Structures are given as C-alpha cells and as structure tokens.
C-alpha cells in the first residue's frame, strides 16, 4: 500500500507495522515456551494493566502530537511572507 509508486522508498508503514507485530508475537511465544513454569515475572502483566498502559501511552502520544502541531502553527505564523 504505497502512497507514491514513483519513488522506491522501501517497505510501507502498514507492512512494517504488521511485520513488527508478528515478530513480537513470535518472540513472546518463544520466551513462553522456553521459560515454561518459570514465568512468574509475566504475572504482573494483567489485561487491566496492559490496557491502562495502552491508554496512558496513547494520551501521551496525542498530547505530544498536539504540542508539535501547535508549535508548527506558531512557527508558520511567525514566518514573513
């Protein structure tokens, strides 16, 4: 799903995201199989904590993107011309 087929810039963002997701799932599966019963440290990752972490990370990213957008607007307003 490339946006611009004229330039060969490598892998599209969506494909890269899918590849990282699959790689992360495979690594988690391999760690789970290798560790077996010795996985008490994964007990701290409850569904509630993971979902709260996703929400908090999303809020921080949204606030950061809003800050960048406002800064860009201010920079464009100060440019002559």
pLDDT tens-digit series, residues 23-75: 999 998 888 888 777 777 777 888 899 999 999 999 999 999 999 999 999 88
What the block records as the tokens of 27 is 């690594």
Specify the pLDDT at position 22.
93
Nearest to 56 by CA among 46, 48, 68: 48
Angstrom distance (rounded) from CA 12 to CA 40: 38
Let me know how many helices (H) and strands (E) the chain has, helices first: 2, 0
Q: What are phi and psi for residue 12, nearest 5 degrees?
A: -70, 160
Nearest to 34 by CA among 50, 47, 42, 44: 42
What the block records as the tokens of 44 is 């701290």
Angstrom distance (rounded) from CA 56 to CA 60: 6
Q: Which of 3-7, 18-22, 34-38, 46-50 has the lowest mean pLDDT?
A: 3-7
């Amino acid at each position: 799903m490339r946006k611009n087929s004229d330039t060969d810039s490598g892998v599209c963002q969506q494909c890269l995201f899918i590849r990282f997701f699959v790689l992360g799932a495979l690594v988690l599966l391999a760690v789970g199989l290798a560790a077996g019963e010795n996985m008490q440290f994964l007990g701290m990752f409850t569904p509630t904590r993971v979902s709260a972490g996703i929400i908090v990370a999303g809020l921080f990213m949204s606030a950061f993107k809003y800050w960048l957008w406002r800064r860009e607007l201010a920079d464009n307003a100060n440019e002559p011309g």
